[in-house]
Amino acid sequence: MKSILTCYTRPLVSRIFAITDIETTGSHAAANSITEIAVVLTDGVSEIDRFQSLVQPEHLIPFHITQLTGISNEMVEGAPRFEDLAEELYDWFKDAVFVAHNVGFDYAFIKKSFEAYGYYFHPQRLCTVRLARKIFPGLPSYSLGRICDRFGIDNEARHRAMGDTMATVELFHRMVARDQSGIIDQQLKRGNAAQWLPPSLPEEQFHRLPERTGVYYFHDRTGKILYIGMSANIKKRIRQHFGGKMDSKRRQAFLSDITSISFELTGTTAIARLLEDAEIRKHWPPYNFAQKRPAKRFSIQQYRDRMGYVRWSIQPLKPGMKGDLVFHSLAEARDAALGWCRRYELHPSLLGLHQTGEPLPDADVHNEKLEALREELSAGGGRIIVQGEGRKESESSFVWVENGELVGYGFVDRNEDLAAERVELLKNFLNRVPTSEMTRSIIRELISKA
């Protein structure tokens, strides 16, 4: 079957909406394909035209998908491939607003399919899940089946593209009629967050996010923490989370689960990193993967060359290998070495860094400086209080380090004297943080830059 077209005279309207549904071989676009597609053009009040076709997915449809949709391998055997439909479909979507129930799912598949054949597909989008939450607030469920049952919208062909599309058309028409406050127009504004936010996340929560340093948390509908991150600009970083491709199963599940965001300001990125590490280890969120897999680490190795210079070399830390100073990345190790070079006036090439073209210092002088640095690092340097920016202009932050180990961090009035000797004052504002390899590396980096 090529397509089924019902012809109407298209009225002169300001916007055309291409309400769409697809059936697929699986739940994520990266490894699956479209088996059926339906598009209905509407002006928001009346249907204008419609398109429907089975699609040859070019690989087998799993049995459980056939059970759900009724679409079998035999049914699509003679159907056109997406490549055969692409030119015609592209004209259908051209200059129209792309509308679907949970629009990110359908858009990911159709965008991937278009781009595979050289078409640029980036239309304005509307999600009827998100619209329904705003126009019909307080419903127990916003799945297409449940919301249609509630409003008496017939759909005798559930889990088939045209059946679900026509149900979405009826729902959309009712929302247009009910939308007295211009919600749909607001969401169609260029760059509107509703086009790319997760469908269950209130748009207002995103707009209230600060463009400041801190730790942020993604939650599901029960309040469970799904993911913890940190950034010097919370709002910008969260926007990046939602702006990527939707074609992986894990990413689709991640975004569909997010219903709320919380955050905690920290003043400095160092405290943000410390808090992020502590919170991840406390809650072990399901979508934080970095702390759950063995990370490649680096260490400082010491040796004496033939000219008598004691040198430090940054090397990958192999299994079973011990290192006095361990880092979580090559960049982190190099940053620490650069800090030591500045503080002790050491030659970078003798600490495993770049050649500068400058002559090497006297070997005995260099070796004495390096030994002093090693003793300081071994002893931990006693009590060190590193001061930084606070969460607001009226306060300062501090990080308390004792003999190289993190004690914690805190915030005090900006006018307070944060001398290391004022232990009793600092204890009153101290948030203790458990030590880990990550906190040790953060502390080394922080002290080297202090």
How many angstroms separate the CA atoms of 26 and 344, rounded?
A: 60
Q: Name the token pair of 281.
A: 């280890």
Burial letters 387-399, b for 16+ CB under 10 A, else e: bbbbbeeebbbbb
| DSSP string computed for 372-438 | HHHHHHHHTTSEEEEEEE-SSTTEEEEEEEETTEEEEEEEEETTS---TT-HHHHHTTEEE----HH
Contacts of 95 (CB under 8 A, 6+ apart): 16
Q: In which order are the strands placed within the sheet that holds 326-327?
A: 310-316, 298-304, 326-327
Catalytic residue among 28, 159, 219, 328: 159
Residue 159: active-site member = yes
Crossing angle between the packed helical segments 82-93 and 103-115, to the nearest 10 degrees: 120
Per-residue tokens: 254: 């991640």
Cα–Cα distance measured from residue 26 to residue 29, given in angstroms and rounded to the nearest whole number: 8
Residue 389's DSSP bridge partners are: 396
Q: Could you give the CA distance from residue 159 to residue 161 in angstroms, rounded to a whole number?
A: 6
CA distance 256 to 436: 32
Name beta bridge partners: 34: 24
351 to 25, 324, 326, 336, 419: CA distances (angstroms): 55, 15, 15, 10, 32
Question: On the CB side of 127, how many CA atoms lie within 13 Å of its CA?
Answer: 25
Residues with catalytic roles: 159
